[in-house]
Amino acid sequence: MATPSSQSQGDSFRVLRTARVAPSWTDGAAPLPERAMPLTFLDAMFLSTPAVERVLLYRLGAADDVDAVLSRLADSLSRVLRDFYPLAGRLRLTPGEGNRYELLYRPGDGVAFTVAQHGGVDVDELARDDPREHAAIAPFVPVLPAGGAVLAVQATVLLLPIRRDLALGVTVHHAACDGSSSTHFLHTWAATCAGAAVLPQPPVINRTCIRDREDIYDLLASMAKDSQPHMLESTIVVVAVDKLLATFAVSGDTLQSIKDRIAAVAARRGVPTPRCTSIVATFAVIWHCHTRAAQGDVDVEADSTPSPNDGDRGLLVCLSDLRPRMDPRVPDKYLGNCVGPCFAWAARKEIAATGADDALFTASSAIALAIDGATRCEADYWDRCTEQGQEMRTLESPPVSVAGSPRFRVYDVDFGFGKPAKVEVVSIAKTGAVSVAESRRRGSGGIEVGVALPPEQMERFRRCFGDAMAWLSSSSPQ
């Protein structure tokens, strides 16, 4: 059912209508009955976190009829929701339980699909990498309807005279699914809309795949209720005050330079070389720049004999996909959360050392060790995670957290009118995380990083990143 609206944000942006798109059963398939899917402790980690907000920017061709594009998007969404029906449901407290939650799908449930238009900006302007205000892209992000909705979509037509472009906003409650699942949904929706002959494999909807930990569930549910006591009655609103968003590209050549320098430091110290993948190398240089930007304009000299107790400790937190590592193994297309945290600890002074290969060695060693701990997923992994999570809350400085993954292939999400010109994780302005994705520059082997910071800190980050790229392009490791 469509609801016309005249809501506007400024003179250029206007919401035209919002409709509820329900799973389609028009091809003779029997409608799905009511189903309740209990959340696992892996889902409960994200009960009170802000929703994940993505905006995918597309250039429409001259032959693309805007109304036809919008119709195809809505129709294909309806068809895809047959397989991804939990995303059309609602998050609620399990009846008769005080701290257990579930996703409930009932016949007639659907996803809010908003159509809007903007007459003051085009994709070229929105797809820039240089810093711009969060407020400039925030209108393209749909808000989750109150009452426990876990997915919302907004298609905004950009009405500049030269070209009609499209900003597709997708908001997902993290308690419903992780990044692997949400991008699996996006790829399936896009392939269906484009009329692909072969679609991605359907999701596996079976919460018994996860061996639950009731003790951890109790702790996480209690923490969520304390921080957001009304989280199911209304949308969790987090305001990104005075934040700038920017994208920084780390090329394939730069990643190789980082790996070479880390190997050289290991050889100089006579220690094993940490397992430095491209993602570890990226995290290391971003952690270095983020830490320097946070401390102001104070330069920190490299310490050739670093001490783990030198200065306050810094922390980088990323997530590891545990599907292939759980016992029993969880299917690759499992719909839900199946990620575990990786806690990388190091002295902030060492991470922030000026122009030093030692700083990257320290950062990459800590990150590789943390990822290895999650990869092995030993019996005490979750107990250690609980302890480190408690320790994290005692830090003087907030941790650097990471969202996204190059393996999500967000630049391959093609709805039939081309691949995106830019994909932005807008919610990092609210969570304080950095986002990572594969480079949209095809064949570069690089990774792009989204950063959201206040203006002064963003300027320091830009300078730190520029300095890092300059020393990494020099002829030899230090």
Q: Following DSSP, what letter does each residue of 118-159 receive, concatenated?
A: ESS--HHHHT--S-EEHHHHGGGSPPPPTTTB-EEEEEEEE-
CB proximity list for 180: less than 8 A, separation 6 or greater: 321, 323, 338, 339, 405, 407, 408
Residue 441's pLDDT is 85
Q: What are phi and psi of 264, to 5 degrees?
A: -65, -40
pLDDT of residue 197 exceeding 50, the answer is yes
Q: How far apart are CA 435 and CA 446, in angstroms?
A: 14
Task: For 10-61, write each residue's pLDDT tens digit.
Answer: 468 999 999 999 999 776 777 889 999 999 999 999 999 999 999 999 999 8
Contact in structure between 434 and 401 (CB atoms under 8 Å): yes
Residue 310's pLDDT is 41
pLDDT above 70 as % of the chain = 89
Q: What are phi and psi of 417, to 5 degrees?
A: -125, 35
Residue 6's pLDDT is 40
Residue 223's pLDDT is 87
Residue 254's pLDDT is 95
pLDDT top residue among 1 and 176:
176
pLDDT of residue 422 exceeding 50, the answer is yes
Residue 234's pLDDT is 52
Confidence grade of residue 465 (pLDDT, cut at 50, 70, 90): very high
Residue 61's pLDDT is 84
Give the chain's mean pLDDT: 90
Residue 451's pLDDT is 97
The average pLDDT across 464-468 equals: 94
Task: For 60-115, write each residue's pLDDT tens digit.
Answer: 987 889 999 999 999 999 999 999 999 999 999 999 988 999 999 999 999 999 99
Confidence grade of residue 126 (pLDDT, cut at 50, 70, 90): very high
Residue 355's pLDDT is 63
Confidence grade of residue 304 (pLDDT, cut at 50, 70, 90): very low
The average pLDDT across 373-378 equals: 88
Q: How far apart are CA 150 and CA 183, in angstroms?
A: 14
pLDDT of residue 311 exceeding 80, the answer is no
The average pLDDT across 194-211 equals: 95
